[in-house]
Amino acid sequence: MKSIDITGGNTLCGEVSIQGSKNAALPLLAASILIRGVSVIHNCPRITDIFSMIKILESIGCKVSFIGHCLEIDAKDICNTVLPEEYVKVMRSSIIFIGAMLAREKEVSIHYPGGCVIGDRPIDMHLEALQRLGVEFTEEGETIGASVRELVGSEIFLPFPSVGATQNIVLAAVLAKGTTVIKGAAKEPEVTEVCRFLQKAGARIQGIGTETLEIEGVAALQETEFTVVPDRIVAGTYLLAGAATRGAVLLENAPVWQMDSLLLMLRNLGAKLHIEGDKIFLNGEEADKSIPFMETRVYPGFPTDLQSPLMAVLARADGISIIRETIFEDRFRVVKELNRMGARIFQKENQALIYGVKRLGGMDVEAEELRGGAALVIAGLLAEGRTKIAGLSYIERGYEDIVRDLRCLGAKIEKSE
């Protein structure tokens, strides 16, 4: 199993540029099949989730070229509506192909999607919303079949602002007959970005960035070019790593405008921040404060994807912190490994009580999922001695090259088999 080796205990110091956003880019790849021609996506991160999406696109007949960070997708001819189980299963976001395929081909067959092992993660809201647009579903074993004679706009209320469900409905609605109104839509930047991409291609969408989206179906979309925003979760991970090691870190190309809740959290930890344009300088010398209580929230609240990395920082804070996870019910899997490294974290249901300790010790640990893996990297940077983190492949789902980036910040870190 590929792993990461870290010799911890040194202060991070340096600068790093932030990659394109995983969660903003993934829905663009699904959106590209709505365009009977070429989509050019710049600043696309070279991560395994993107490679899996490309495999899915190729399997249905798209021609894809991915040179550097420029992804070109030619979706002129689609010849297959059965999505390959092998790639669908590794990634929950493959679910958004349902909306896009229905809009383009009126049918699709897809294995239940996989992804990180964080809770049950049902897809009921996706399916119910698409039914409102006229879609019929069948289930055979673990495969969902979906078909529609004609997508017809409707009013949809989401009981929870699901990011994926909102994206899925938007993808289905842009080419539907009539108008679709989504009430209770997710406001995450990753929803905004796919709407902007579609708008650029000629879609009619109003209310972008709000909880009510109004989509008036159009007959066709045009070829388009788009640049992926930098990744707010990767940026947050590196700032938290800087704070954890009491370091001095400069991020370039950071999506500052999407990061209010994280920047506030860093200040509460005691870090000093200086922001200029898309650059963030963090001085973590005094970032040793505990956080008496915090909870994850939908955007613009504190992102659930940074909860585990934050927990690793709080493991060595001066005092007691409480984290409540409100988005995913099983996002504390990393607690066990952090405690093996010397942390004192007690989890009950969706809350974790973290007693800050003076030191963590390096050892062999295993990442079980993407963001928990990033948290173990931060713990490894903090810990005295050597930490070996197995399960690098999980981390590579979202971080283009975490070893390269952290080396830019002076970390003693390398990949190993």
| Whether residue 13 lies in the annotated active site | no
Q: Verify binding: residue 160, ligand UD1, rule CB under 6 A.
A: yes
Q: Verify binding: residue 125, ligand UD1, rule CB under 6 A.
A: yes
Q: Nearer to ligand UD1 by C-beta: 123 or 408?
A: 123
Q: Verify binding: residue 51, ligand UD1, rule CB under 6 A.
A: no
Quote the least distance from Cβ 328 to ligand UD1, whole Å.
Answer: 5
Interface positions, 82-121, toward ligand UD1 (CB under 6 A):
92-93, 119, 121
Quote the least distance from Cβ 326 to ligand UD1, whole Å.
Answer: 9
Quote the least distance from Cβ 350 to ligand UD1, whole Å.
Answer: 11
At 69, the amino acid letter reads H
- 146 Cβ contact list (under 8 Å, min separation 6): 98, 101, 102, 107, 108, 109, 110, 130, 135, 136, 137, 138
Q: Residue ranges of the alpha helices (H) in 61-143?
A: 85-88, 97-105, 124-132
For 161-198, b where at least 16 C-beta lie within 10 A, e where not — what string? bbbbbbbbbbbbbbbbeebbbbebbbbbbbbbbbbbbb
Q: Nearer to ligand UD1 by C-beta: 26 or 29?
A: 26
At 231, the amino acid letter reads D
Binding mask 375-404 for ligand UD1 (x = CB under 6 A): ------------------------------
Report whether 54 contacts 29 (CB < 8 A).
Answer: yes
At 394, the amino acid letter reads Y
Q: Which stretch binds ligand UD1 (CB under 6 A): 186-194, 248-256, 306-314, 333-341?
A: 186-194
Q: Verify binding: residue 122, ligand UD1, rule CB under 6 A.
A: yes
CA–CA gap between residue 191 and residue 153 (Å, rounded): 19
The number of beta carbons lying within 10 Å of the beta carbon of residue 12 is 23
Q: Verify binding: residue 154, ligand UD1, rule CB under 6 A.
A: no
Interface positions, 278-307, toward ligand UD1 (CB under 6 A):
304-305
Catalytic residue among 44, 62, 116, 195: 116
How many helices and strands in the chain, by DSSP H and E? Answer: 14, 23
CA–CA gap between residue 172 and residue 205 (Å, rounded): 12
By annotation, the residues acting in catalysis are 116
List residues near ligand UD1 by CB under 6 A: 23, 26, 92-93, 119, 121-126, 160, 162-165, 186, 188, 190, 304-305, 327-328
